[in-house]
Amino acid sequence: MDTQITLRVDGADRPLTVDTRTSLLDAMRERLGATSAKKGCDHGQCGACTVLLDGRRVNSCLVLAVTAEGQEVTTSDGLAADGPHRLHETFVDHDAYQCGYCTPGQITSAAGVLAEAAQGWPSAVTEDLVADRTDLTDAEIRERMSGNLCRCAAYANIVPAVAQVAVEQGVRA
Amino acid sequence: MREFRYEKAIDPAGAVALLTGEPEGAYLGGGTNLVDLMRLGVATPDVLVDVRQLTSTEVEDLPDGGLRIGAAVPNADLAAEPRVRERYPLLAQALLAGASGQLRNRATTGGNLLQRTRCTYFTDTTMPCNKRDAGSGCGAVEGLHRNLAVLGATHEGPTSPHTCIATHPSDMVVALRALDASVRVLGADGERTVPIAELHRLPGDDPARDTTLAHGELITAIDVPALPWATRSRYRKVRDRASYAFALVSVAAALDLDGSTVRDVRIALGGVAHKPWRATVAEDALRGGPATEAAFAAAAEAELAAAAPLADNAFKVPMATNMITRTLVQLAEARA
Amino acid sequence: MTATTERAVGSDVRRIDGPAKVRGLAPYAYEHEVDGSAVFVALVQSTVAKGRITSIDVSAAQAVPGVLAVLTHEDAPRLGDVAEELLVLQSDRVQYAGQPVAVVVAETSEVARDAVGRVVVRYDAQRPDVDLRADRDDLYPPEKLMGGFETDSVIGDVDAALAAAPVSVDVTYETPNEHNNPIEMHATVARWDGDVLRMWDANQGPHNLVPVITEAFGITADQLHITSPYVGGAFGSKAFTHVHQLIAGMAAKVTGRTVKVELTRQQMFSLVGHRTPTIQRLRLGALPDGTMTAISHEVVEHTSQNAEFAEQTATATRLMYAAPARRTTHRLAKLDVPAPTIMRAPGEAPGMYALESAVDELAEALGMDPVELRLRNEPERDPERDVPWSTRNLVACLRQGAERFGWADRDPRPGVRADGRWLVGTGVAASTYPTRRRPSQARIEAVPGKPFVVSIDASDIGTGAWTALTQIAADALGVPMDDVDLRIGDSRLPKASGAGGSTGITSWGPAIIAAAQELRDREVPPGGLTVTGSSGPGDEAEQYSSHAFGAHFAEVRVDRDSGEVRVPRMTAVFAAGRIINPTTARSQFLGGMTMGLSMALHEEAVLDATHGHYANHDLAEYHVATNADVGEVDISWVDEVDELHNPLGAKGIGEVGIVGSAAAIGNAYAHATGRRVRDLPLTPDKFFR
């Protein structure tokens, strides 16, 4: 069932026609030509499609485009609106990727991790659940980034790439 | 995916009215399970009523010291909620053990309760499955069932219309079951409260039904009663990889000690049954008895005595026994 | 030409494709032709694994608004003489579950997927046979193994030597079906521009596809143009042509439109190959001092009804250790399964898992340190081919690895260490992978004042080829990297071998160097100059035995209550020739080691005995390692330059990292728990056997 909506992707209003069945991911990739977010499974099982939706990381393959009207969608490309994001630089510096396909999702996810840590959110490996500050140790980064599969398996390089920005943002000792 | 109409309502009552008139419609919350199942052809609603912005996104204090959790509170926010972390560590830990950061941001509390089984015969429309296609049989009992139920399942052979060895995939409900939460539900005839023990069901002779909710009933909130000694509680999940996997076995437990005696205890299991499994046999055995590893192990074994595993999931019996025992030992050793 | 004193080769150069990749701007196959003109293809797959289609009713699907065409075996374009496994929509015969039996083309992907569910197919089905067992009576020896290896090798009287051995082991290991699962799903965009087939495709080298696709559609190589600048991982599954690429060409032909085919993750389990499961019996005999007297490695694996894929599982055993009596055999079971394919270190990865586990068991039986046992059996020459090594530095890898890992203080007793509830153990295993070079050609265009345009149909599937080839070209031309404009991933560029078998750098690099040498002695006229160069294997392949080697060390922790397995640290040392780019090379080793960890702990595609399908066909149920599964990883390499095979002195590095890593973890598991699990993966349930 076709319907007219306007999506706000990486700071730009993008009017388009979608099927009610169209996912936010397919709306971007197949209808808007915005291909920064990737499709790796279409079922929320790999994280390649991760975007920030009103600043929170979500799997865009499981979001129906019609429900995303009025929300701010940010892809990895959108994080570079004012020049490269620090995560873009540290991923390159630490060679935190190989094929690069999961990478935009890793980076938007990492941006979400940093924001969640700044709010003091715990994770499954946080020992002191009631602590009001989060310290993004290596173990914390590994756990929090586990919703993003990397088959090239750059995990051990992704951790220091995220850690470096975490230090800069004051969420890692 | 079948074509569907997308509808928004003004308020919860409007949503209920809308869906009650649409026998093949469904509520859309976070969509992390429903959209997945629609894409697989497992769920085929012709109308989606978006309730994400209708029910509460707040966590409120109840007079007894408990909490009322709005159905639209995202899993991530609930896990991060300071009152949950302080009063109900097992609930925060269960939420954090589930899915991924991305999914927890999107998934709602109400939707989490209604997750459907991850049995691969259920999610594959080309396979027999009594839950998805009533009467078609069960592919799992003679197929891949390593991670399926060992307690409360119905096993009458692969072609029986009753056979179902599905498990409930949620971590959160295991903790809520241990906490004796209740679910507030709005239906066409008004509001009712369902104890969580009565929300989920065993497959029995009707495996297609996961819960006791009627079509059109909308979960609006979850009440978690006060349990002061739940500060000594824990959720332990065993899974195939270190993160981002469904439970093989999980344990939600809280322990109330009087010196070295068990004053009270709550134990619920995940990954072993069609619903979150409250270990009442073990609880009864422990109450008033010594808080020792031997007593914990004996109680766990008594609970699992009812298990009826298949060849490839028999490991869940000793695994669950060990996990109950170890979790209680750790709680007994922990500072309250 | 600008003189330069700095060498690019050997330098830590960041990926030149990095800035585009991190923002998501490097275009992968599906991301071409995004102007809205393309239409979408979805597949109807067989729900049975064996039988015949008796009827197909497409009327309901065709009636869906937006559906442009529905193709079935009754009306699809006829394909030329391609391999049986590729004859899609050509007959009513069904040979595996998930085989495409109809194809829908529609204006949108949503409509195409909807219409798929409305195609009604009826079958005359038979129960499939997907059961691999070593005692089947229909096992047969293939004529040859993949790569041209002999099926069997026998030297001496192996049975007599085993019977006479004072110490021996006789153990059987099993490895499961595994799936490559690159995160980019296989995708093809195709259009017919007149009689020219234009494709944007995810593959490991466009030229790999040219012979099959031209034959399938009856066109010449000039009538096919495949572009693949960026590929989102492959690990073997994108090396060869699969049915979806032919479906794309057919759908484009029938509709006259630009079509997009993107396999679903679930479809990738049946349509783009898998690593065959194996059953491997290892028998090793030794003297009390550890000297091996006999090695026997017998392999049973599966192949499909529609293809013979004979993986060279035991070939590494032919060269690893000295022993006078030796035997390797390979037998196949032809089952009702999809065709297997290559997956990172096909043969070596499962084969060395078994051999290196058995060597560990032999060390235990001897009461000897497993590093020492390997050192004791180091062969002077290739023990079966009887030729010298070009270079073999396994000993250095083992010694340096033991030093870095802290192996010296190891208590050999199994099952005696604990840290709280964790049982703790350590393990070691060796690695090897062949060094080869394949024929490749390159072209360089020089125009004064402009960067050198270096063209070769090489492929970067994440390996770092974009960067490493630019480094090689810069040094060969004697210019800074900025003065090289590299072009790869296009079938209209000079023909090169595909990315596979760890042969990229050793094949492509020398071709670029050869072209650069053509240019070095010549004056570039104002109008510019174009030169070509080529490279390929020579007599050295016959005269020497050439392989990369490595040594893996792992610490494993097993929870005594749950059976959960963790690998907090891994150390590996490699001897893999000259390293072109230490940064990207380290990532290749890391990726291989982690995939080996994933193989050890997680990966198994389960075939359903009744229905013949892969029951856990998605990324929620087929587990690959997550970030949280990987601990500290220590990677290094020995200084080694092997110029017998190529002027770079390089060996391949893409696969030696995975080989042996699963064995090191399995050996550490046995050391931790005191019990040997001989069938991968080491999931928690196996602790409760």
Give B 46-85 residues with CB within 8 A of chain A. Answer: 48, 50, 52, 76, 79-80, 82, 85
Same domain? For A74 and A90 the reply is no
| Euclidean distance between CA atoms B1 and C115, whole angstroms | 9
Strand positions, DSSP E, C194-254: 196-201, 224-227
Shortest CA distance from A23: residue in chain C: C110
Partner-chain contact B39 A50, CB within 8 Å: no
Query: Length of chain A, please?
Result: 173
Q: Can you give the pLDDT at residue C247?
A: 98
Question: Domain with B13 in it: what CATH number?
Answer: 3.30.43
| Euclidean distance between CA atoms C270 and C27, whole angstroms | 26
Q: How far is C44 from chain A (nearest CA, A)?
A: 18
C450 phi and psi angles, rounded to 5 deg: -125, 160
Q: Can you give the pLDDT at residue C645?
A: 87
| Euclidean distance between CA atoms C114 and C107, whole angstroms | 12
Fold of C18-28+437-536: Aldehyde Oxidoreductase; domain 4 (3.30.365)
Pick the residue of A3, A38, A53, A58 with the most B CBs within 10 A to test the interface with B by mutation: A58
Percent of chain B with pLDDT over 90: 99
Partner-chain contact A21 B97, CB within 8 Å: no
Q: Which of C233, C179, C182 is nearest to C602 (CA)?
A: C179
**Domain-terminating residue out of A35, A51, A79:** A79
Pick the residue of B3, B39, B105, B236 with the most A CBs within 10 A to test the interface with A by mutation: B105
Q: Can you give the pLDDT at residue C3?
A: 41
Subunits touching C (CB < 8 Å, at least 3 pairs)? Answer: A, B
| Chain B residues within 8 A of C566 when measuring between CB atoms | 242
> Is B202 within the bounds of a domain?
no
Residues C321-346: b if buried by 16+ CB within 10 A, e if exposed:
bbbebbbbbbbbbbbbbbbbbbbbbb
* Residue C668 CB neighbours (<10 A): 28
Q: Can you give the pLDDT at residue C4?
A: 45
Residues of chain C whose beta carbon is less than 8 angstroms from a beta carbon of chain B are 47, 110, 113-114, 117, 421, 561-564, 566, 601-602, 606, 608-611, 613, 615-618, 620-621, 623, 625-629, 683-689
| Chain C residues within 8 A of B328 when measuring between CB atoms | none
Shortest CA distance from A134: residue in chain B: B80
Q: How far is C182 from chain A (nearest CA, A)?
A: 6
Q: Can you give the pLDDT at residue B335?
A: 65
Partner-chain contact C618 A45, CB within 8 Å: yes
> Is B131 within the bounds of a domain?
no
Same fold, C18-28+437-536 and C146-178+274-435+543-688: yes
**Domain-terminating residue out of A36, A61, A79:** A79
Q: How far is CA B210 from CA B42, B193, B207, B246, B294, in A?
A: 14, 18, 7, 18, 36
Cis peptide upstream of residue A104 (ω within 30 degrees of 0): no
Fold of C34-126+190-234+238-263: Aldehyde Oxidoreductase; domain 3 (3.90.1170)
> Is A134 within the bounds of a domain?
yes
| Chain A residues within 8 A of C34 when measuring between CB atoms | 29-30, 33, 35
Residue A44 forms contact with B (CB below 8 Å): yes
Q: Which two tokens stand for residue C39?
A: 């239409």
Q: Can you give the pLDDT at residue A21?
A: 98
> Is B222 within the bounds of a domain?
no
Q: What is the pLDDT of residues C483-513, one digit of tens each?
A: 999 999 999 999 999 999 999 999 999 999 9
Cβ contact C660:C539 at 8 Å: no
| Euclidean distance between CA atoms C536 and C553, whole angstroms | 35
Q: What is the pLDDT of residues C298-338, one digit of tens each?
A: 999 999 999 999 999 999 999 999 999 999 999 999 999 99
Question: Domain with A132 in it: what CATH number?
Answer: 1.10.150.120
Question: Domain with A45 in it: what CATH number?
Answer: 3.10.20.30
Of A79, A107, A152, the CB nearest to C591: A152
Give me the number of domains chain B comprises. Answer: 2
Neighbouring residues of C598: CB distance < 8 A, sequence distance ≥ 6: A153, C623, C624, C625, C629
Q: Can you give the pLDDT at residue C521?
A: 79
| Euclidean distance between CA atoms C24 and A76, whole angstroms | 6
Percent of chain B with pLDDT over 70: 99
Task: Inform me whether the pLDDT recorded for A122 exceeds 70.
Answer: yes
Q: Can you give the pLDDT at residue C6?
A: 66
Long-range CB contacts for residues C404-410, cutoff 8 Å, separation at least 24? C404/C553, C404/C571, C404/C573, C404/C634, C404/C636, C405/C553, C405/C569, C405/C571, C405/C634, C407/C371, C407/C553, C410/C369
Pick the residue of C561, C630, C679 with the most B CBs within 10 A to test the interface with B by mutation: C561
Q: Can you give the pLDDT at residue C579?
A: 98
> Is A139 within the bounds of a domain?
yes
Same domain? For A39 and A110 the reply is no
**Domain-terminating residue out of A44, A79, A114:** A79
Strand positions, DSSP E, B134-212: 182-187, 190-195
Q: Can you give the pLDDT at residue C544?
A: 97
Residue A104 forms contact with B (CB below 8 Å): no
> Is B218 within the bounds of a domain?
no
Partner-chain contact C624 A145, CB within 8 Å: no
| Euclidean distance between CA atoms B140 and B166, whole angstroms | 9
Q: Name the pairing type of β-strands C100-106 and C196-201.
A: unpaired
Question: What are A14's strand-pairing partners?
Answer: A7
> Is B279 within the bounds of a domain?
yes
Give me the number of domains chain A comprises. Answer: 2
| Euclidean distance between CA atoms C282 and C663, whole angstroms | 14
Catalytic site residue C655? yes
Neighbouring residues of B101: CB distance < 8 A, sequence distance ≥ 6: A57, A109, A112, A113, A116, A123, A144, A147, B76
| Chain A residues within 8 A of C461 when measuring between CB atoms | 99
| Chain A residues within 8 A of C600 when measuring between CB atoms | none
**Domain-terminating residue out of B16, B34, B49:** B49
Taking CB atoms and an 8 Å cut-off, how many pairs form between chains A and B?
114
User: How high is the ipTM of this complex?
Assistant: 0.99
Averages of pLDDT over runs of 10 residues in chain C (689 residues) are 66 97 98 96 98 98 98 98 98 98 98 98 98 98 97 98 98 98 98 98 98 98 98 98 98 98 98 98 98 98 97 98 98 98 98 98 98 98 98 98 97 97 98 97 97 98 98 97 98 97 97 95 93 95 97 98 98 98 98 98 98 98 98 98 94 97 98 98 97
Q: Which of B125, B97, B132 is nearest to B112 (CA)?
A: B97
> Is A91 within the bounds of a domain?
yes
Shortest CA distance from C24: residue in chain A: A36
Same domain? For A64 and A90 the reply is no
Coarse DSSP helix, strand, coil percentages of chain C, rounded to the nearest 5 percent: 25, 25, 45
Shortest CA distance from B98: residue in chain A: A124
Span C146-178+274-435+543-688 CATH architecture:
2-Layer Sandwich (3.30)
**Alpha-helical regions (H) of C439-543:** 465-477, 504-520, 540-543
Same domain? For A68 and A132 the reply is no
Partner-chain contact A57 B35, CB within 8 Å: no
User: In terms of residue numbers, what domain contains A22?
Assistant: 2-79
Q: Which of B69, B116, B124 is nearest to B95 (CA)?
A: B69
> Is B141 within the bounds of a domain?
no
Task: Inform me whether the pLDDT recorded for B264 exceeds 60.
Answer: yes
Pick the residue of A16, A151, A157 with the most C CBs within 10 A to test the interface with C by mutation: A151
User: In terms of residue numbers, what domain contains B19?
Assistant: 5-49
Q: Which of C262, C300, C294 is nearest to C281 (CA)?
A: C300
